[in-house]
Amino acid sequence: MTGGKEVLVCYDERVLAHEPDTNAAFLPGRLDKRVRQILSGLNVQWRYPEHPGRVSSILDLLVREPIEGVRIMGGRAASYQELSRVHTSAYLQDIYALRGKSAWLDMDTTAVSPGSVEAAEVAAGTAIAAVEAVFDGQADRAFAVVRPPGHHAEPVRARGFCLFNNVAIAAAHAQSALGCERVLILDWDAHHGNGTQDIFYADPDVLFFDIHRAAPFYPGSGSLEEVGAGLGEGTTVNVPVPAGTGDRVYLKILRELLAPAVANFKPDLILVSAGFDAHGYDLALNVSYEGFAAMTGILQALADEHCQGRLVMVLEGGYNLESLSHGVHSVLKVMAGGEVPEPAVCGLAEAEAAIAFHGPAFRATEGG
């Protein structure tokens, strides 16, 4: 590929050790009882949807269909000091106390298995490593393939399969340790990044921009009126959209709202909470592979214009393994310098071909 760029995929297999199994023995308590009650009310056998196969599917596809310019780099665990930039010490002590145990953390079915605490430390640390690699000049762009995801985790609470807020921890590290003044976080996951919003709600130096399926969809926050508070008023931008929203709307929002916001804010780094549950296969919204790729193209252009190309993606949700792995793949192709597609309306080309194929038969009899 000519003009290709090197892209780092940051991955550490310790993230596979987070593996809540609802049949395992959990710490006894009221939450355990309540969650079991909820699960028994479901008509189907419930499996933990945020499982190790998610990241394996991404890595497996990269091996089967390698992308020139993509290099895989290891990760590391985040330290207490790095995590404490966005989480309280009381919360961190509570989580650390769960090492080696199984427990429910939230009624929304967030749980931990014996390896989860280390996996969460490694997820946060690998997001940091991706940012450091970009600031060190090892690559312009990086993608941290991590789990558990992070954007629902609040300063004092685990929620929505998230323990530590990986993208927020990476942003705080860029500011505290790498001399970065302003950070843009774009969250394109289908769900609102309530945790990231909370952490930076009063911070004028982090622009948090979130497109998500509107309430009452989980977690229910992220209305238009939530714009930040105090010094941070105006640096939280929420764009709630209805079920089924797809490529054309996402691209319009990026071009007509994100681009001027970024030009005004002038970030030193662009981070993306890259969730692939906005893809049609996850049944909440309707972004296509070309849509994710086109959004990546817009973000790269913004990064090139405003922050020396520094763009780091951090994996969030995405539960259909086919759309998750192919979605990440389509983003990495663009990050590696591949062509940026313009998403077509699904089926339009096929309809035009059918019209061209059958049409003459009917026109021949017209007026006959």
In sequence order, which residues have a C-beta less than 8 Å from that of residue 8 and are 6 or more positions away?
A: 70, 71, 72, 73, 130, 133, 134, 138, 139, 141, 142, 143
Binding segment for Zn ion (CB under 5 A), chosen from 37-45, 77-85, 222-230, 315-323, is 315-323
Amino acid letter at 300? Q
Binding to Zn ion by residue 317, rule CB under 5 A?
Answer: yes
Residue 82 near Zn ion by CB under 5 A: no
Which residues are registered as beta bridge partners of 162?
A: 159
From 19, 189, 203, 210, residue interacting with Zn ion (rule: CB under 5 A): 189
- Report the site for Zn ion in 17-36 (rule: CB under 5 A): none
Q: Does residue 203 belong to the site contacting Zn ion (CB under 5 A)?
A: no
Structure tokens, 352:
């035009």
CB of residue 317 to Zn ion, shortest distance in Å:
3
Residue 23 CA to residue 25 CA, distance in Å, equals: 7
Q: Rule CB under 5 A: say whether 191 interacts with Zn ion.
A: yes
Closer Cβ to Zn ion, 268 or 277, answer by number: 277
Give residue number: closest CB to Zn ion. 317
Catalytic residue among 51, 152, 191, 306: 152
Should residue 306 be labelled a site residue for Zn ion when binding is judged by CB under 5 A? Answer: no
Concatenated DSSP letters of 144-185: E--SS--TT-BTTB-BTTBSS-HHHHHHHHHHHHS----EEE
Length of the chain: 368
Residues 262-281 that bind Zn ion (CB under 5 A): 275, 277
182 binds Zn ion (CB under 5 A): no
Residue 358 appears among annotated catalytic residues: no
Q: Which is nearer to Zn ion, 190 or 312 (CB)?
A: 190
| Structure-token pair, residue 62 | 């990269």
CB 21 within 8 A of CB 39: no
Pairing of strands 141-144, 7-10: parallel
- Using rule CB under 5 A, residue 150 touches Zn ion: no
**Three-state SS at 323:** helix
Q: Which stretch binds Zn ion (CB under 5 A): 6-14, 17-25, 171-179, 317-325?
A: 317-325
Cβ proximity to Zn ion, 267 vs 318, nearer residue: 318
Establish if 337 lies at the interface with Zn ion (CB under 5 A): no
C-alpha to C-alpha distance for 128 and 77, rounded to whole angstroms: 9
Neighbours of 220 (CB within 10 A): 12
Which residues contact Zn ion (rule: CB under 5 A)?
189-191, 275, 277, 317
Enzyme catalytic residues: 152
